[in-house]
Structure 1
């Protein structure tokens, strides 16, 4: 929806999608450029890791890039190589397909998954979802103990 002043309410391109396998209602949206994290997703389940730009291991990886190569693919490859495996045994990857949180099916409607996140459809509702969001993020988002030792 557009504002009278020309601003777009949907600047993260949010839209409801449906899982092709279990028909769960989901909400896809672009990552906000205002957040200070890289999000990498498991290639085997719907979990993700949140890597802070300021994490000491992330900073060391960036500093060690050859010739300070700043390309995203070089950085993502370096981060992926150092991340601990997912609890399901999968690997966290920048380009992993997004998956349904209910059945783990690949969400083909998303296309290129880079820069895209998926939430349950309740996330876009106008109701108070704080407790649902807290339980969801605790189950699907790893923010600590990210790195292989």
Structure 2
């Protein structure tokens, strides 16, 4: 297999129209929800059951929740609620991915045409970017990643 085309997207600071149009324009075939809690109220269209319905109805896009690629509750609390340091969070999260051996739980082709979803609007301080970077390191750069 050649490169697996993978996207990432966040749903905050956007409208439903903007969110779904970006997915359609990018040709996304599957959303991989990497949030720990996928029933977020941050955007009404992003709750798991509603999101799965909208994705299927609007673009025949599959929906999968993958908490194995999410941080733990204590990690989230330390970073979000207690305004933790990003570099400390990043180190803890990457160590968690290594501890879970996520690179052995998935294959690159499983993510071809997929888009990793979480709440952050930009990938800079978001674990979806870290997931892609971690997997790319373990899989010798086979993921062609774009942030929508």
TM-score normalised by L of structure 1 = 0.28
- Which of 1 and 2 has greater Rg? 1
- Report the structure, 1 or 2, having the larger helix content: 2
Q: Which structure's relative contact order is higher, taking Cα pairs within 8 Å and 6+ residues apart?
A: 2
